[in-house]
Amino acid sequence: MSSSAPKRRRTRPLQRQLFCPAHPQERLFGVGRKYFLHLLTPEQLKQRGMSDRKAKLVIQAYPVLVLSNEWLEELFCGCCGTSRWCHVTKHDRVQHTVRWAPRELWEQVAHVDPVVANPSVSQFSQRESRRHRRRRADGGRHWDPA
Protein backbone atom coordinates (compact mmCIF):
# COMPACT_ATOMS: atom_id res chain seq x y z
CA MET A 1 0.00 0.00 0.00
CA SER A 2 1.51 3.32 -1.02
CA SER A 3 1.66 6.29 1.30
CA SER A 4 0.08 8.51 -1.35
CA ALA A 5 -3.30 6.74 -1.06
CA PRO A 6 -6.06 9.07 0.14
CA LYS A 7 -7.00 8.69 3.78
CA ARG A 8 -10.55 7.68 4.61
CA ARG A 9 -12.65 9.94 6.74
CA ARG A 10 -13.59 8.14 9.91
CA THR A 11 -15.61 10.85 11.59
CA ARG A 12 -19.21 10.26 12.52
CA PRO A 13 -21.82 12.69 11.26
CA LEU A 14 -22.78 15.34 13.79
CA GLN A 15 -26.00 14.72 15.68
CA ARG A 16 -28.48 17.42 16.50
CA GLN A 17 -27.63 19.30 19.67
CA LEU A 18 -30.64 19.93 21.90
CA PHE A 19 -29.99 21.42 25.34
CA CYS A 20 -32.41 21.80 28.26
CA PRO A 21 -33.71 25.37 28.79
CA ALA A 22 -33.46 24.87 32.58
CA HIS A 23 -30.02 23.17 32.49
CA PRO A 24 -28.02 24.60 29.52
CA GLN A 25 -25.22 22.04 29.90
CA GLU A 26 -27.56 19.00 29.78
CA ARG A 27 -28.41 17.38 26.42
CA LEU A 28 -32.00 16.43 25.66
CA PHE A 29 -33.08 13.24 23.96
CA GLY A 30 -36.19 12.78 21.84
CA VAL A 31 -38.72 10.25 23.13
CA GLY A 32 -41.60 10.77 20.72
CA ARG A 33 -42.64 11.93 17.30
CA LYS A 34 -42.42 15.46 15.94
CA TYR A 35 -45.56 17.56 15.50
CA PHE A 36 -44.82 20.20 12.85
CA LEU A 37 -46.44 23.63 13.15
CA HIS A 38 -49.00 24.82 10.59
CA LEU A 39 -49.53 28.50 9.82
CA LEU A 40 -52.89 29.77 8.60
CA THR A 41 -52.66 33.58 8.80
CA PRO A 42 -50.24 36.24 7.52
CA GLU A 43 -49.85 37.54 11.09
CA GLN A 44 -48.22 34.26 12.13
CA LEU A 45 -45.72 34.65 9.29
CA LYS A 46 -45.04 38.28 10.22
CA GLN A 47 -44.20 37.16 13.77
CA ARG A 48 -41.46 35.01 12.26
CA GLY A 49 -39.87 37.96 10.42
CA MET A 50 -41.58 37.93 7.02
CA SER A 51 -42.73 41.20 5.45
CA ASP A 52 -46.47 41.99 5.38
CA ARG A 53 -46.80 41.84 1.60
CA LYS A 54 -44.82 38.62 1.22
CA ALA A 55 -46.76 36.98 4.06
CA LYS A 56 -50.08 37.72 2.35
CA LEU A 57 -48.80 36.32 -0.95
CA VAL A 58 -47.56 33.13 0.69
CA ILE A 59 -50.88 32.52 2.51
CA GLN A 60 -52.79 33.14 -0.73
CA ALA A 61 -50.61 30.60 -2.53
CA TYR A 62 -50.57 28.06 0.34
CA PRO A 63 -53.66 28.31 2.59
CA VAL A 64 -51.96 25.99 5.10
CA LEU A 65 -48.20 26.42 5.35
CA VAL A 66 -46.34 23.62 7.17
CA LEU A 67 -43.09 24.79 8.77
CA SER A 68 -40.32 22.26 8.28
CA ASN A 69 -37.99 24.03 10.71
CA GLU A 70 -40.34 24.31 13.74
CA TRP A 71 -42.08 21.54 15.62
CA LEU A 72 -43.23 20.31 19.02
CA GLU A 73 -41.44 17.27 20.42
CA GLU A 74 -41.38 15.46 23.74
CA LEU A 75 -37.80 15.56 25.04
CA PHE A 76 -36.17 13.90 28.07
CA CYS A 77 -33.73 15.74 30.37
CA GLY A 78 -31.52 13.67 32.68
CA CYS A 79 -31.11 16.49 35.25
CA CYS A 80 -34.85 17.15 35.47
CA GLY A 81 -35.58 13.42 35.23
CA THR A 82 -38.72 14.12 33.21
CA SER A 83 -40.00 14.34 29.68
CA ARG A 84 -41.47 17.68 28.65
CA TRP A 85 -42.98 19.07 25.48
CA CYS A 86 -40.61 21.49 23.80
CA HIS A 87 -40.83 23.91 20.90
CA VAL A 88 -37.81 23.18 18.71
CA THR A 89 -36.56 25.57 16.03
CA LYS A 90 -33.99 24.21 13.59
CA HIS A 91 -31.28 26.63 12.40
CA ASP A 92 -29.11 24.15 10.52
CA ARG A 93 -28.46 20.41 10.57
CA VAL A 94 -26.89 20.50 14.04
CA GLN A 95 -27.92 23.76 15.77
CA HIS A 96 -31.41 24.01 17.30
CA THR A 97 -33.17 26.33 19.72
CA VAL A 98 -35.26 24.64 22.40
CA ARG A 99 -37.82 26.23 24.70
CA TRP A 100 -40.71 24.89 26.75
CA ALA A 101 -43.80 24.62 24.54
CA PRO A 102 -46.64 26.95 25.54
CA ARG A 103 -50.15 25.52 25.33
CA GLU A 104 -51.11 27.98 22.56
CA LEU A 105 -48.70 26.32 20.11
CA TRP A 106 -50.82 23.15 20.08
CA GLU A 107 -53.47 25.15 18.21
CA GLN A 108 -51.01 25.34 15.28
CA VAL A 109 -50.59 21.55 15.10
CA ALA A 110 -52.95 19.68 12.78
CA HIS A 111 -54.99 16.68 13.93
CA VAL A 112 -54.16 17.14 17.62
CA ASP A 113 -56.50 18.63 20.22
CA PRO A 114 -54.80 18.72 23.65
CA VAL A 115 -58.07 19.40 25.47
CA VAL A 116 -59.98 16.36 24.19
CA ALA A 117 -58.80 12.92 25.28
CA ASN A 118 -57.76 10.34 22.71
CA PRO A 119 -60.93 8.41 21.78
CA SER A 120 -59.00 5.20 21.10
CA VAL A 121 -57.92 4.98 24.78
CA SER A 122 -60.28 3.11 27.07
CA GLN A 123 -61.77 4.66 30.21
CA PHE A 124 -59.92 2.08 32.31
CA SER A 125 -56.55 3.13 30.84
CA GLN A 126 -57.31 6.82 31.40
CA ARG A 127 -58.33 6.17 35.00
CA GLU A 128 -55.27 4.02 35.74
CA SER A 129 -52.91 6.58 34.21
CA ARG A 130 -54.10 9.04 36.86
CA ARG A 131 -53.77 6.45 39.66
CA HIS A 132 -50.40 7.77 40.82
CA ARG A 133 -52.11 11.05 41.86
CA ARG A 134 -54.83 9.40 43.96
CA ARG A 135 -54.55 8.75 47.68
CA ARG A 136 -55.89 6.03 49.93
CA ALA A 137 -58.50 6.65 52.61
CA ASP A 138 -55.74 6.98 55.25
CA GLY A 139 -54.00 9.70 53.20
CA GLY A 140 -51.13 7.55 51.93
CA ARG A 141 -50.29 6.82 48.34
CA HIS A 142 -51.45 3.56 46.77
CA TRP A 143 -47.92 2.20 46.34
CA ASP A 144 -46.81 3.10 49.92
CA PRO A 145 -46.77 0.20 52.39
CA ALA A 146 -49.86 0.24 54.60
The tens digit of pLDDT for each residue in 60-85 reads 998 888 888 999 999 998 888 888 89
The whole-angstrom separation of Cα 41 and Cα 22 is 32
On the question of pLDDT at 14 being above 80, the answer is: no
Helix (H) or strand (E) segment spanning residue 61: helix 52-61
The tens digit of pLDDT for each residue in 31-46 reads 888 999 998 889 988 9
Q: Is residue 128 part of a domain?
A: no
Q: Is residue 33 part of a domain?
A: yes
Q: Is residue 80 part of a domain?
A: yes
Section 1-15 average pLDDT:
70
Work out whether the CA dihedral 66, 13, 92, 95 comes out positive or negative: positive
* Range(s) of the domain holding residue 39: 28-113
- Supply the pLDDT for residue 62: 87
- The tally of domains found in the chain comes to 1
Q: Is residue 109 part of a domain?
A: yes
Give the residues across from 84 on adjacent strands.
Answer: 75
The tens digit of pLDDT for each residue in 91-114 reads 988 889 999 999 888 888 877 766
The whole-angstrom separation of Cα 64 and Cα 21 is 30
Radius of gyration of the chain, Cα coordinates, nearest whole angstrom: 22
